[in-house]
Homo-oligomer: A and B are copies of this chain.
Amino acid sequence: MDSADDSSLGPLTEDGQSAGFLDDGKNTIGSQLASRLREAIISGELEAGSKINLDKARKTFNVSLSPLREGLARLISDGLVEFQDNRGYRVAPISLANLEEVTSLREELEVFALRESMRLGDVEWEGNIMRALHRLNRTERDAARPETLEQWEALHREFHLTLISGCGKPLLLHFCSLLLNLNDRYRRVFLIRTSGDRNVGQEHSEIAQGAVARDVDYACEKLRQHIHRTGTNLRNHLATKGIE
- Which A residues are closer than 8 A to B by beta carbons? 24, 26-28, 30-31, 66, 69-70, 73-74, 76-77, 79, 85-86, 98, 101-102, 104-105, 108-109, 112, 169-172, 175, 179
Oligomer: number of copies = 2
Shortest Cβ distance from A112 into chain B, in angstroms?
6
**Contacts known (A69-B70, A70-B69); A86 close to B172, Cβ less than 8 A:** no
A228 to chain B, nearest CB (A): 16
Q: Which residues of B contact A108 (CB under 8 A)?
A: 108-109, 112
Residues of B within 8 A of A70 (CB): 69, 73
Docked complex Cα distance between A169 and B102 (Å): 9
Supply 15 A–B pairs (Cβ within 8 Å), ascending by A: A66-B69, A69-B69, A69-B70, A73-B73, A73-B74, A74-B76, A77-B77, A98-B171, A101-B169, A101-B171, A101-B172, A105-B172, A108-B109, A108-B112, A175-B175
Q: How near does chain B come to A138, taking the closest CB pair, in angstroms?
A: 33
Interface of A is mostly: helix
Residues of chain B within 8 A (CB-CB) of A179 are: 171
Q: Bound complex: CA of A101 vs CA of B27, how far in Å?
A: 30
Complex CA distance for A172 and B86, rounded to whole angstroms: 26
In the complex, which residues of chain B have a beta carbon less than 8 angstroms from the beta carbon of A77? 76-77
Inter-chain pairs besides A101-B169, A105-B171, 20 sampled, C-beta below 8 Å: A24-B85, A26-B85, A28-B86, A30-B85, A31-B85, A66-B66, A66-B69, A73-B73, A73-B74, A73-B76, A76-B77, A77-B77, A79-B171, A98-B171, A101-B170, A101-B171, A108-B108, A108-B112, A171-B179, A175-B175
